[in-house]
């Protein structure tokens, strides 16, 4: 394991100390300690409201007492359906405080998808933003076996005058939620003693961190079907400890860390790096729930953000923003990228413009999610294009994708990981668990579904997703390799490569490209193909190129390859592809687009 030399000290890969430090502590207990240790420090900044750790801890205790009063017991699942907001944090830790299990739901889910995840998890209650509750939950409410529902407005935690003015001029969206038995207002539950008829305290719950599940995080996983990854208290606390080890060359617990939360907390990447890690370390979180580039740049300058985890699309938008050089970004110390591959050209451009390197990492929901990071200088090598080395306490290797055996360094195989952050398993999915886990020499390995290789220094490189690999005339073509070549072309702003079914060759390599504005109409498809032919093996270059105004993306900015492939199949069958995009576009309308645009307008001081 050559990567050990790049740790902050000589920590061994499966350091038992990391496990011991995390073993007996629940996630809520870690949060409670932060609220005591940093009581007067700002925990959250949301629009014009600052909430200290002391205040946040009190809110969580009150909500925990309310959940207990309403019947939530240890092991009960509580679904959360809301964007990044103080209410999300309060609901999350209040659920953990009473021994409940958090089930984060994406605001982009359709009513039928919400029905599936609520039923599959067996959730007893849901806490939702009012707009989402009316649009996503009410249509399927009668099909859900819920004890109660809690509804909140995006402006509930704002100061009174700001909230009233915002609603009056329409900057804070408000929707009428019909009253019903066992349906409660979030703010009323923060005054639970009124509802209960007297003082009430949350219960003291015994938690077994290694066995008790803290979060049931739904994911397509490595095999494609929706399922809940059981993340225990031990998993999540261990993950935070691991990331602390990585950061500790500059930031120790209690240091004045300021981070901007631009990744959604209902996604495990945002939940870990943008919420749990900062709160357990006494950081201040600037909540920016929508990745509006101008607002991100303004927030970094105004609040002196020094830790900034994001996704490649955000960095692409930042380097392409015409006013980036007008903002002071000198406070940035640690900038990291995850969720999917960061184009090398984007990384180089960001560093040249800001002077700050982007440290790329890797993870998956099933591992809380981070398993690999580039080590920060001066100790680490930091290799652009690499996902780095395993976190302290983590083992990683490449394995035969079909057989339970590890492959030598240098060979391409399926990335497998083991460590304290790896999930307990999938919720009620024994067959899926058998597919993704295997044990070898006493080590329980998790298959990630990604192809990777390891270099001589122990740095890992993702070659591509196993499911995205293209087979052309029997040859294996990895889309990322082709995309990296396309990004080197001066005219290319965005590029996505997929396999298009072709009976003659198996799959043809097709590139979808968004051109930079100044190159539109000046570059042809044939020129792009010739560019690639000179830089790639004969079986790798794209045979098909299509210029587009935009590329469909998921809520974390990933290219939606599945939709592009489905579109191509529809075209081959002589069918329209419009309907496959219509449903996805509807998810972004209203809530993600309008709601947060208005909220961010308010954050700009326009109220």
CATH number of the structural domain spanning residue 532: 3.30.300.30
- Sign for the CA dihedral angle at 46, 52, 57, 58 comes to negative
Per the domain annotation, does 339 fall within a domain?
Answer: no
* Per-residue pLDDT tens over the stretch 512-567: 999 999 999 999 999 999 999 999 888 899 999 999 999 888 766 678 887 888 88
Per the domain annotation, does 603 fall within a domain?
Answer: no
Helix or strand holding residue 194 (H, E): helix 192-196
Q: State how far the alpha carbon of 459 is from the alpha carbons of 338, 396, 550, in Å.
A: 16, 11, 33
User: 23 pLDDT band (50/70/90 cuts)?
Assistant: low
Spatial contact of 27 and 237, defined as CB atoms under 8 Å apart: yes
Q: Average pLDDT in the 263-274 region?
A: 94
Per the domain annotation, does 182 fall within a domain?
Answer: yes
Per the domain annotation, does 117 fall within a domain?
Answer: yes
Q: Report how many domains make up the chain.
A: 2
- Provide the whole-model pTM: 0.81
Spatial contact of 459 and 386, defined as CB atoms under 8 Å apart: yes
Per the domain annotation, does 585 fall within a domain?
Answer: no
Q: Average pLDDT in the 223-241 region?
A: 89
Per the domain annotation, does 369 fall within a domain?
Answer: no
For residue 278, report the phi and psi dihedrals to the nearest 5 degrees: -60, -45
Per the domain annotation, does 532 fall within a domain?
Answer: yes
401: burial class by Cβ within 10 Å (0-12, 13-18, 19+)?
middle
Per the domain annotation, does 488 fall within a domain?
Answer: yes
CATH number of the structural domain spanning residue 81: 3.40.50.980
Helix or strand holding residue 213 (H, E): strand 213-219
* Per-residue pLDDT tens over the stretch 396-415: 999 999 999 999 998 999 99
> Regarding beta strands 258-261 and 284-287, do their DSSP bridges make them parallel or antiparallel, or are they unpaired?
parallel
Q: Give the domain extent around 507.
A: 469-575
What whole-number distance in Å separates Cα of residue 602 and Cα of residue 607? 6
Cα 587 vs. chain centroid, distance in angstroms?
A: 18
> Among 52-56, 251-255, 600-604, which is the least confidently predicted range?
600-604
Q: Average pLDDT in the 207-216 region?
A: 98
* Per-residue pLDDT tens over the stretch 116-175: 999 999 999 999 999 999 999 999 999 999 999 999 998 899 866 455 444 443 456 678
When the pLDDT of each residue in the chain is averaged and rounded to a whole number, the result is: 86
């Amino acid at each position: 394991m050559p990567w050990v030399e790049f740790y902050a000290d000589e920590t061994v890969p499966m350091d038992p100390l990391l496990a011991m430090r995390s073993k007996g502590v629940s996630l809520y207990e870690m949060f409670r300690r932060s609220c005591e240790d940093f009581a007067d420090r700002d925990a959250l900044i949301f629009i014009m409201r600052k909430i200290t750790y002391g205040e946040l801890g009190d809110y969580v205790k009150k909500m925990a007492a309310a959940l207990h009063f309403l019947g939530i017991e240890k092991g009960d699942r509580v679904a959360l359906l809301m964007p990044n907001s103080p209410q999300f944090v309060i609901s999350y830790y209040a659920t953990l405080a009473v021994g409940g299990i958090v089930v984060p739901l994406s605001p982009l889910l359709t009513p039928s998808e919400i029905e599936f995840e609520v039923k599959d998890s067996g959730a007893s209650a849901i806490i939702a933003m009012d707009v989402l509750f009316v649009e996503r939950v009410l249509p399927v409410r009668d099909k859900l076996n819920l004890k109660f529902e809690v509804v909140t407005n995006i402006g509930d935690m704002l100061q009174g005058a700001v909230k009233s003015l915002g609603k009056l001029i329409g900057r804070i969206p408000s929707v009428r939620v019909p009253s019903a038995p066992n349906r409660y207002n979030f703010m009323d539950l923060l005054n639970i003693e009124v509802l209960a008829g007297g003082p009430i305290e949350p219960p003291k719950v015994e938690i077994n961190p290694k066995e008790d599940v803290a979060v049931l995080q739904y994911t397509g996983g490595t095999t494609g079907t929706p399922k809940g990854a059981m993340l225990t208290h031990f998993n999540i606390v261990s993950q935070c400890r691991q990331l602390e080890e990585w950061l500790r060359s500059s930031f120790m617990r209690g240091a004045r860390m300021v981070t901007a939360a631009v990744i959604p907390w209902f996604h495990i990447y945002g939940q870990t790096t943008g919420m749990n890690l900062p709160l357990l370390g006494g950081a201040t979180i600037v909540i920016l729930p929508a990745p509006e580039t101008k607002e991100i740049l303004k927030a970094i300058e105004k609040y002196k953000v020094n830790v900034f985890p994001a996704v490649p699309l955000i960095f692409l938008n930042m380097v392409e923003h015409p006013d980036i050089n007008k903002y002071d970004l000198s406070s940035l110390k640690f900038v990291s990228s995850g969720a999917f591959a960061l184009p090398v050209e984007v990384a180089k451009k960001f560093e040249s413009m800001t002077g700050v390197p982007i440290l790329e990492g890797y993870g998956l929901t099933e591992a809380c999610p981070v398993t690999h990071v580039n080590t920060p200088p001066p100790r680490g090598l930091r290799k652009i294009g690499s996902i780095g080395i395993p976190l302290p306490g983590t083992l990683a290797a490449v394995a035969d994708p079909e057989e339970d055996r590890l492959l030598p360094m240098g060979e391409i195989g399926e990335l497998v990981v083991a460590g304290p952050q790896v999930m307990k398993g999938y919720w009620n999915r024994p067959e899926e668990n058998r597919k993704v886990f295997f044990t070898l020499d006493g080590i329980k390995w998790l298959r990630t579904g990604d192809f990777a290789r390891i270099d001589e220094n122990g740095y890992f490189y993702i070659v591509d997703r196993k499911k995205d690999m293209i087979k052309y005339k029997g040859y294996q073509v990895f889309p990322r390799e082709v995309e990296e070549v396309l990004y080197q072309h001066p005219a290319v702003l965005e590029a996505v490569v997929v396999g298009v079914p072709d009976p003659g060759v198996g799959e043809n390599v097709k590139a979808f490209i968004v051109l930079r504005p100044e190159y539109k109409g000046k570059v042809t498809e044939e020129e792009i193909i010739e560019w690639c032919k000179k830089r790639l093996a004969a079986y790798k270059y794209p045979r098909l190129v299509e210029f587009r105004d935009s590329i469909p993306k998921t809520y974390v900015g990933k290219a939606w390859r599945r939709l592009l492939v489905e579109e191509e199949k529809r075209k081959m069958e002589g069918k329209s592809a419009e309907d496959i995009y219509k449903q996805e576009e509807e998810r972004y309308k209203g809530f993600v687009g309008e709601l947060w645009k208005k909220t961010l307008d308010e954050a700009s001081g326009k109220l």
